[in-house]
Amino acid sequence: MKLLFFLSFLFLLNSAFSQELSITQNFSFGTFAPSFGTSTVTIDPYGTRTISGGAIPIGYFNYFPAIFMYTTKKGKPKNIVAHIIYDPNINISSNGHSMTVKLGPTNKINDTFITSSNQITEIRIGGRLTINNITSNPSGNYLGTFTITVIQE
């Protein structure tokens, strides 16, 4: 039995300056077999996966963090402080069954970074998936969405 998890994303941008946020990689916890107890699968912002509890990983390198490219447009001030905001708790579901994902951390200290005119900044987001027992979370493609807001000062 295998479980496959993917998340898709929605974006919000909030600023007086022109900016763009684009997805370059969707989030995936990879494929694994659940156990009869609770397990967690964690993906850090750099793509390292750890599994605790009884879940068994299946396959290699089919898991990855979400990656976005954030761009400010030409003619904007230098040293713009930007903050990444997201709800850390989301649910993913498949055929009436659901699991909880706790988003974070990002690859930015305190979810904040400094950018300037026409600069591209890579934003990576990891997360931790909690898997209940095999009867509560049977095999399937579990999907969910989350919203990211980038606010410039």
Cα(136)–Cα(131) distance, rounded to whole angstroms? 8
The dihedrals phi and psi of 111, each to the nearest 5 degrees, come to 55, 35
Q: Which of 78, 80, 90, 88 is nearest to 14 (CA)?
A: 80
76-100 residue pLDDT tens: 667 888 899 999 999 999 999 999 9
Single pTM value for the model: 0.84
Enumerate domains of the chain plus CATH numbers.
3-152 (2.60.40)
22-59 residue pLDDT tens: 889 999 999 888 888 899 999 999 999 999 998 888 87
Cα(63)–Cα(27) distance, rounded to whole angstroms? 8
What Cα–Cα distance (Å) separates residue 94 from each residue in 6, 91, 97? Answer: 11, 10, 5
Cα(5)–Cα(63) distance, rounded to whole angstroms? 9
